[in-house]
Structure 1
Amino acid sequence: MDLQTIKERIAVVQSKREYLLDLLEQPNLGILKVDVNQALEELDELIDEFKRTIPETENN
């Protein structure tokens, strides 16, 4: 897999973050709120790790 493909896939994953934030705000989520919160934390960690691995100068 080339770097451009990885960047495109990361961009798709980052776009899903907003959906998770919206889902987290739902009042009827119940115990699933814990899972959504965990997904957000893991997503943020993955994005941070990507940014550390592929510095911004290479992201362009």
Structure 2
Amino acid sequence: MNPDTLRDRLRFVLSKRESLLQLLEQPDLGTLRIDVNQALEELDELLAEVQRTFPDLES
């Protein structure tokens, strides 16, 4: 995979992170809040790992 494709895919994933944050603000989320929090944590870990693996890759 070339760096431009990787950048595009990372931007796409980051845009979904914003959707999760907006979902988390919903007052009637109930127990789904746990799953949304977990998804955010795992996404943040994935992005941190990508940054460690490809330090020269800017999103």
Quick one: distance in 2 between partners of 1:46 and 1:10?
Answer: 10
Q: Which has the higher helix share?
A: 1
Q: CA RMSD in A?
A: 1.1
Quick one: distance in 1 between partners of 2:53 and 2:15?
Answer: 20
For these two proteins, the number of residue pairs brought into alignment is 58
| Percent identical | 59
Give the structure, 1 or 2, with the largest relative contact order (CA under 8 Å, sep 6 or more): 2
Moved >6 Å (runs of 4+): none
TM-score by length of 1: 0.87
Unaligned runs of 5+ in 2: none
